[in-house]
Structure 1
Amino acid sequence: MNRRDAIKAVSVIMGGTVVGANAFLSGCSVERDERVNALFMESDVALLDEIGDIIIPTTDTPGAKAVGIGGFMAMMVLDCYEEKDQKAFTDGLAKLKADFEKDHGDSFDEAPRETRTAFLNALDKEQREYGKANEKDPGAVPHYFKLMKELTLLGYFTSEVGCTQARRYVETPGRYEACIDYKKGDKAWAT
């Protein structure tokens, strides 16, 4: 139950005698875009969830959005990245949003999945070319989409879902066997 529903329920129980009930309810009707941390707003995290869901979609296992990948990325960028990488990531996220809206006239999260996938595939090609052009420069800042992909993979495959559903998992393994035959289509083992 959200705050608005709770206030309505209390108003009904009290017969609408709460002074200023309309003011309370109207205060809840506006969608607020609040900060998640010093770098990201809730809308940024929601966009990162959508991007992660294109990178690792839901199939027979839950996708990246199901593990809250946007929040994970926001936390990792704030807590673990150097300032120049933080700037590359946040500027890149803003660029992704603006470029998508300019190219498609719609926001990323409202566009059809095929359109979003094609856009991110083109962005992936761009980041690979950027990486090749800057591979000899040790001080080059990584392309923002490469950072997004890396964080999506890291967050997903270290989550409970990634370890227990996307990969084979034995909570209490037996002895170590160095050579186990692999059959095509087998999931990788979680560690």
Structure 2
Amino acid sequence: MDRRDSIKTLILGSLGAGLYLNGCTISMRDPRKSLTDFYSFEEYGRYKEEMLRDKRLFAEEFLTDHEYETIADLCDLILPATDSAGSAGDAHVPEFIDFIVKDMPNLQKPIRNGIKWLDDYAKANYNSHFIDLDTTQKTEIMDAIAYPDKSTPETKAGIEFFTRMRNLTLTGYYTSEIGFKDIGYEGNRPNVWDGVPQDVLDEHDLSYDEEWLAKCINHQTSSAAAEWDKDGNLLNN
């Protein structure tokens, strides 16, 4: 099982398990953007009051540029691109987290404190901020905080932060179009039943009444919109 399949298994089962993907190359990111740069939020199944709240949240800013860049780096470390699927950055997960910390204020202090812990740990071990480290150094830090069962007094806070970041990253990724395609999720589809198979009917010398069959749903045309004439008669029954 490769790393991407491991992530799929984690998502389809539970987000609670410890997991970290290392040995990856972090892609260079574009200048800071918002979800509104990629998606339209004009009509998306929300009440007017909710839309106004979302608009206000999009206009606000909580994360500093440094904090945002650190989150973007972590997202692509946790879920890098593969030959078959894009990275967390490609799925706009950093922008998702940027919004979520405003939508859910209870995340603000843990995320901010976690980034500070990460930088303090990086400076103590490599004399530099986390985002300025090379991939090998970042991987070594991630290996130290990716596994809750290996917690130490020194890494406890970092493990709690990484667990939260991992869950946010996977949630953002696997609720995006890229994530849906990666796990083959097609959404809710109506069930199709064409009746008892013909060979079973033949075995019992049975058949459907043609008049009754004519009243059943035709799956070839079931998605067609109904049309009526001016007198209210259904035209395409």
TM-score range, shorter chain: 0.5 to 0.7
2:98 corresponds to: 74
Counterpart residue number, 2:123: 101
Count of equivalent residues: 129
Offset from partner CA, 1:54-105 (integer Å, 9 cap, x none): 11111121111212222211211221242xx421221111111221132112
Q: Could you tell me how far apart the structure 1 residues matched to 2:78 and 2:123 are?
A: 19
The change in CA–CA distance for 1:101 and 1:71 in structure 2 (over 3 A counts) is farther
Shift of 1:50: 0.6
Cα distance between partner residues in 2 of 1:127 and 1:39: 32
Q: Which amino acid aligns with 2:132?
A: E
Distance 1:168 1:107, change over 3 A: same
Does residue 52 (structure 1) correspond to residue 75 (structure 2)? The answer is yes
Over the aligned positions, Cα root-mean-square deviation in angstroms equals 2.9
Distance 1:127 1:81, change over 3 A: farther
Residue 179 of structure 2: which of 162, 177, 182 is its match? 162
- Equivalent residue, structure 1, for 2:64: 41
Normalising by the residue count of structure 1, what TM-score does the alignment of the two structures yield?
Answer: 0.57
Task: List alignment gaps of at least 5 residues for structure 2.
Answer: 1-58, 194-237
- Structure 1 pair 153/88, CA: closer, same or farther in 2 (3 Å)? same
AA aligned to 1:129 is S
Give the match for residue 135 of structure 2: 113
State percent identity of aligned pairs. 22
Which amino acid in 1 is paired with 2:136? E
The separation in 1 between residues aligned to 2:86 and 2:60, in whole angstroms, is: 26
TM-score by length of 2: 0.47
Structure whose CA Rg is larger: 2
- Tell me, yes or no, if the aligned pair for 1:52 and 1:152 is still in contact at 8 Å: yes
Asked whether the 8 Å contact 1:127–1:146 carries over to 2, the reply is no
Give the secondary structure class of the aligned counterpart of 2:62. Answer: coil
Pick the structure with more helix per residue.
1
| Letter paired with 1:57 | P
1-side partners of 2:123 and 2:143: how far apart? 16
Distance 1:144 1:68, change over 3 A: same
Counterpart CA distance in 1 for 2:129 and 2:163 is: 21
Give the Cα separation in 1 of the matches to 2:60 and 2:138. Answer: 26
1:28-73: CA deviations, max 9, x gaps? xxxxxxxx84420122112101101111111121111212222211
Q: Which letter maps to 1:74? A: D
| Structure 2 counterpart of 1:63 | 87
2:112 maps to 90
Structure 1's 113 and 37: CA in aligned 2 closer, same or farther, altered over 3 A? Answer: farther
